[in-house]
Amino acid sequence: MPVTLIAGGVRGLGRAAAEALAEAGHEVHVTWRRSRDEAETLARRWPGRVWHLDLDVPAAGAELIGRLVAERGGLDHLVVAAGDYSSGTLEALAAAEFERLWRSNVAQPLELFAAARPWLRARRGSALFFGCAGLEGHPGKRRSAAYAACKSALLSLVRSLALEEGPQGLRVNLISPGWIPHAGAHAETLARAGQVQIPLGRPGQPEEVARAVVFLLGPGAAYVSGANLSVSGGL
C-alpha cells in the first residue's frame, strides 16, 4: 500500500484528492494549518494520519516528514495542494502580499519537497504540485497576476525538478485546476461571469480534479513526468 502525504489535504481540492486516493488503496496522510474543525473530524476516521503543519515555522516540514517516515517506514508520494490565493491588480499589490504568495506557492512547496526527496527517491515515487489553469504561454491576468506569476514559477521549477529527478526514478508533475467551486474556495470561483467562459459550458467538480490526481500518482502515469495536466474544461 503506497504511503501518500497531502499537504493541505483536510479541505477543498486537497480533501477531495485524499478521499479518492484512499479509495484507490493509498495510505493517505494529510496536513492542516488553520482548518482545525475539519482536521478533528477527519482524524476520527483516519486516526494517526492527520498532521498539523505550519510551514512558516522553520524546519517544520522536515520534522513532519521525519516523524512520518519513522512511523511508516517510507514515503511513496507527496502532493502539495496548499497555497494561498490573492486577487487584485498589480497596482494595488503590496510587497508584503507578494512575498506571502511567493512563500506559500513556491518557496514552501519546494522546502517540503526537499525534505521528502530522499524518501521519494528510495521508492521511485512521485511528487505532485497544484498550479492553476492558464499557465501555458504565460498570458497576462487582470485580477490574479501575482498569484499566476507564482504558479508559473512553480511550473518552471516542477519541470526542472523532473529533469533532475528522472535519473533517480522520481516523477514530478503539476495539476492545474480551472473553475472548481468548493467549500472554502475564493468567491471569484463562484462568479458566473468567469464560468461562462469555459468551453465545456460548466464549472468543474472537486471529484474530477481528484480523479486526475489518482491517475498521476498511479501506474497509468508511470511514464509521465514534467507534465502540467490542466483540469479546466478547456479554459
Given the residues 113, 129, 147, 179, select the one marked as catalytic: 147
Dig out the grid coordinates for 42 from the structure: 477527519
Catalytic residue check, 147? yes
Positions marked active-site = 147
